[in-house]
Structure 1
Amino acid sequence: MEITIKGRGKKIEETLIYYRRHFHQYPELSQEESKTSKTIQNFLKEEGIPFETGFAEHGVLAIIEGENPGKTVALRADIDALPIKEKNDVAYASKVNGKMHACGHDAHTAMLMGTALLLNSMKSEIPGKVLLVFQPAEEMAPVGGAGQMMKDGLFTKHKPDAIFAQHMWPDLEAGEIGVKSGAIMGNSDRFTVIVKGAGGHASMPHQGKDAIVIAAQVINHLQTIVSRNVDPMQSAVVTFGEISGGERYNVIASHVTLEGTVRTNDDEVKKKVKARLEKTLSGLAGANEVTIELDYKDGYPATINSEEWEETVRASAHKLLGENSTPRVNSSLGGEDFGRFLLEYPGFYFWLGTAIPSRKLQKPLHDAEFDINEDSLAIGTEMMTQLTFDALEKLNKEENNS
């Protein structure tokens, strides 16, 4: 019998909005999510949903056992905030100075709680088991919380046959779902370059090794890695986000530090960019007779959706939102810790439209004015719940046919 979830999320919309706004007002950064975790645990206790803790310190795993035998599906939401001072003038604005839910994790958490609520009320209809993963430290790149949760035994007792997650996406309207198999989010690496020259008086540059001038060469040369070494039909970005150096206007700088990020969605492209970066810096160091140090940190792997799940995710969206609800989307080079789960288990990561109609220009993720269209909360809750039933049906059918 086909299960239809449409309309059920709307019935608990007040609860979804309450928790989303609560988390938004009291954001906690990566590895600080103790109160957020406690709020989730208290909610699960009140609803009589079993759960386990102790994963990456503040992580929570809720377990809903269906009354019918079957496979196991995991759903994940990230719970941490960002070190950003909020600029939104709304009643539910952050009450913690310098901290903000600027990436929608407050909504992700509230929707997974709502999904737990719906699934728990439908246990008699669930053919299998559902694991609800509340993950801390997603914003703590390049370390993250997903890997540590698994190291701490997240799936030791209960192993998922598939895992799913969603993310608020302001480029899509509420009621639209971004579905794409393959790489949907990118490899997210970071690097630090230290140019070690020699100081001197500004009037006598020939006596020093100007680290600022050499740093300018570094920036210009590394940009050509993408424009002249990467196939233009593939994706790569090298961005410098921070630069510091120099002591005084009339002193040749002896040290300059540059920090940046490399984004790719293909491992071979990543290897090429990294190798060219190392070779270019070595060449510049030799040409300028200075030392250039590179500290390259591999970050989150690309989030690569399993092709086998695209049709199911798209079908779930169509059941709830109609045939036009899954417009064509391109990959993003944003980093996402969920990629680590997908290295271990098949699954899918999709985008939930949350554009605010009153805004002519949508604020992007990680912006101090980012906010969501709260109509998307009921939609996302229904989507996760519908997908759970559809995924279990697919898994159980495959098991029975094998």
Structure 2
Amino acid sequence: MTSSLPVIDERLLEQLINFRRNLHEFPEVSGEEYDTSQKIQDQLTQYGIPFRAGYAKTGVLGIIKGGKPGPTVALRADIDALPITEKTNLTFSSKKEGKMHACGHDAHTTMLLGAGILLNERKDELSGTVLLIFQPAEEASPKGGAQPMMDEGVFAEFEPDVIFGQHVWPDLPVGQIGIRDKEMMGATDRFKVVIKGAGGHASMPHQTNDAIIAANHVVTMLQTIVSRNINPIDAAVVTIGRIEGGYRYNVIADSVSLEGSIRTYKKQVKEVVKKRFYEVVENASKAMGATAQIDYIDGYEATINTPEWAEVVRGCAQQALDSNTATPNVDPSLGGEDFSRFLHKYPGAFFWLGSAIEGRDIQKPLHDPNFEFNEKALPIGVKMLVDVTEKALEKLQNEK
């Protein structure tokens, strides 16, 4: 079918904005989204959308069965907040110290709810099933919430033929959609290294083995992995984000800990970086007479779109926004995304919803205590989810 969805009426839009602001005022971080989950369930109940709850503790699955049999399309929104103290001074700023929706998950949840309401109103016209996945713990890498939901049978009865996810994006203006045929976001591994030497008095270094000197060599050598082992055409980043060691100014340190992150897109690039990481850390430490304990954690996989479904998103955006400039060329991000776990198992696409605040030369980025979501993007996000769902159902039906 061709979407004939009208513009969201003002009453529903007002309800959605109020719902989003309530979520923003009372954020809950990963693993604690109990009130958020209950609010979602209450809304689904109010609008007559069947659901099941309790996946990964607080996850919710809304189920909209169309009037005719057909394929299954899944839509996902993350519901957790971040451990950040908000500094926006909005009238609906977080009332919970040290917790904030600084990544737009309150908007994602609201837009999925809005799309579910509209799709449920026209369910008799749909051929197939629509799954509304409200996922917890997206920010809790490396475990996340996507894999636990799947492990606990969120798709036991209805398995998606395709899955879509949407994320607010302050680097794009309202009215634009960011979509790529393949790489959208990166794999996000992390590590902690403890370098062990031998401490002593600063005046007698010959009696010690300075762990700080060894750590310096390790940090310097790690930067050669990308510059000398990875094809310049490919992307990879090795970042040391935290260093801790030593006791006081006149004591040579016997131990230094390093923590950081590795970002890649291609699986084979990740494998090379990981292998070289171990070699560099162990051998550079050994060369300085120290030892290294490595804790390497494989995080989210790269978020890789299925080209045919990315094209569906692109077409829906250009039609909904009535402009070929609605989908500008965008670069992928090396930020991580738990949606990658869904895309690893099912075809689909992840796209960015332009949400920049007008009139600002510098937009506050995601995960910033001053981040703000432009609510003018909310009805666009709702419409995108509805249009993409209807187009996907139509495409799958025709293919069958």
For residue 338 of structure 2, what is the aligned residue in structure 1? Answer: 337
Percent of paired sites with the same residue: 54
Which one-letter code corresponds to 1:262 in the other structure?
I
The equivalent residue for 1:188 is 188
Deviations 1:251-281 (A, max 9, x none): 0011111110000000000001011111111
- Letter of the aligned partner of 2:314 in structure 1? R
Displacement of 1:6: 4.8
- Conserved in 1, the CA contact under 8 Å of 2:218 and 2:285? no
The alpha-carbon deviation at position 11 of structure 1 amounts to 5.7
TM-score between the two structures when normalised by the length of structure 2: 0.98
Please report how far the alpha carbon of residue 360 of structure 1 lies from its aligned counterpart in structure 2 after TM superposition.
1.6
Partner of 1:370: 371
Distance 2:214 2:285 in 1: 9
- Equivalent residue, structure 1, for 2:387: 386
1:9, 1:378 within 8 Å by CA — same for their partners in 2? Answer: no
Tell me if the contact between 2:181 and 2:311 (Cα under 8 Å) persists in the aligned partners: no
Gapped runs of 5+ residues in structure 2?
A: none
Deviation at 1:10, TM superposition (A): 5.7
Distance 1:104 1:10 in 2: 22
Deviation of 1:248 after TM superposition, in Å, equals 1.2
Name the structure 2 match of 1:246: 246
- 2:315 aligns with 315
Say whether residues 1:119 and 2:126 are aligned partners.
no
Structure 2 partner of 1:281: 281
* Contact 2:174 2:354 survives alignment (8 Å): yes
Answer yes or no: is the 8 Å Cα contact 2:68–2:124 preserved in 1: yes
Aligned to 1:75: 75
Q: Give the TM-score of the pair, scaled to structure 1.
A: 0.98
Question: Which residue of structure 2 lines up, in the alignment, with residue 221 of structure 1?
Answer: 221
RMSD of aligned C-alpha atoms?
1.0
Asked whether the 8 Å contact 1:163–1:348 carries over to 2, the reply is yes
Residue 358 of structure 1: CA displacement? Answer: 2.9
For the structure 1 residues 339 and 10, does the alpha-carbon distance in structure 2 shift closer, same or farther, using more than 3 Å as the test? farther
Displacement of 1:57 in angstroms is: 0.6
What are the superposed Cα offsets for residues 327-381 of structure 1, whole Å, 9 maximum, x if unpaired?
0011111100000001111100000000001322001111111111110111000
Amino acid at match of 1:373: N
SS at match of 1:324: helix
Q: CA deviation at 1:4?
A: 2.5
Amino acid at match of 1:47: Y
Q: Which residue of 1 aligns with 2:163?
A: 163
Residue of structure 2 in register with 1:302 after alignment? 302
Counterpart secondary structure, 1:313: helix
Q: Which amino acid aligns with 1:215?
A: A
CA distance in 1, matches of 2:214, 2:197: 8
Q: Quick check: 1:74–1:162 contact (8 Å CA) kept in 2?
A: yes
Deviations 1:193-236 (A, max 9, x none): 11101110011111111111211111111011111111111100
| Paired residue type of 2:357 | I
Letter in 1 for 2:302: A
2:207 maps to 207
Whether the aligned pair in 1 keeps the contact of 2:310 and 2:348 (CA below 8 Å) is no
Shift of 1:290: 1.0
Q: Which runs of at least 4 in structure 1 moved beyond 3 Å after TM superposition?
A: none
Are 1:170 and 1:364, in contact at CA under 8 Å, matched by a contact in 2? yes
Give the 3 Å change call, closer, same or farther, for CA 9–55 of structure 1 in structure 2. Answer: farther
SS in structure 2 opposite 1:76?
A: strand
Change (3 A) 1:262 1:9: farther
Q: Distance in 1 between matches of 2:35 and 2:326?
A: 36
Q: Distance in 2 between matches of 1:187 and 1:104?
A: 21
Matched residue, 2:29? 29
In structure 1, the residue matched to 2:137 is: 137
Residue 119 of structure 1 aligns to which amino acid in structure 2? L
Contact 2:215/2:285 (<8 A) preserved: no
Letter in structure 2 aligned against 1:107:
A
CA distance in 2, matches of 1:257, 1:10: 55
SS in 1 for 2:62: strand
Q: Determine whether 1:62 maps to 2:26.
A: no
Check conservation: 2:73, 2:163, Cα contact below 8 A.
Answer: yes
* Cα distance, 1:9 vs structure 2: 6.5
Q: Distance in 2 between matches of 1:141 and 1:104?
A: 17
SS in 2 for 1:388: helix
Cα distance per residue 1:283-303 (max 9 Å; x no partner)? 112211111111111000011
